[in-house]
Amino acid sequence: MNVKELADKLGLEIHAGKQAADRDILGGYTGDLLSDVMARINPGTAWMTIQTHQNIVAVAVLREAACISITGGHRPDRETVERAEKENMPVLLADDNSFDLCLKIADLKVL
């Protein structure tokens, strides 16, 4: 499943980085401590976080995440959107909290 398919199935807005939404999702991770995320995610991860500042894009790019999903109804900073566009990193927005979003992804039975 790719990022666009995930967003479509769950009704998530792709707020930035649409041009890279055909990237395949190979796994998922939920975390808000950036060093933890750096150390633990693998390429192709759909990363769920409540962090909204631009440094999340650097982490996602360095670890080749498939996308960032900002959960809990939080909205990214303007700089985050600009950086995500520049680095081709899809940023999805979810009103669900991270746990509920993970449950919905699990229900899709695609990972």
Partner 1 sequence: MASLSRTFRIQKRDFTNAGNASISVKKLLKSLNLSACVIRKVSICGYEGEMNVVMHAATDGILAFELTEKKIFLTVSDEGPGIEDIETAMQKGYSTASDEFREMGFGAGMGLHNIRENADSLHIDSTLGAGTVIRMEFNPGG
- Looking at the Cβ atoms of 10 and 44, the one nearer to partner 1 is 44
Pairwise CA distance, residues 74 & 94, whole Å: 8
- Interface with partner 1, residue 69, by CB under 8 A: no
- Looking at the Cβ atoms of 7 and 84, the one nearer to partner 1 is 84
String marking each residue 37-56 x if it binds partner 1 according to CB under 8 A? -xx---x-----x-x-xxxx
Q: What is the DSSP string of 7-51?
A: HHHHT-EEEE-GGGTTPBP-EEEE-S-HHHHHHH--TTEEEEES-
Q: Minimal distance in Å, beta carbon 107 to partner 1?
A: 28
8 A C-beta contact, residue 70 and residue 96: no
Per-residue tokens: 38: 């750096």
Give residues in contact with partner 1 (CB under 8 A): 32-36, 38-39, 43, 49, 51, 53-59, 61-63, 79, 87
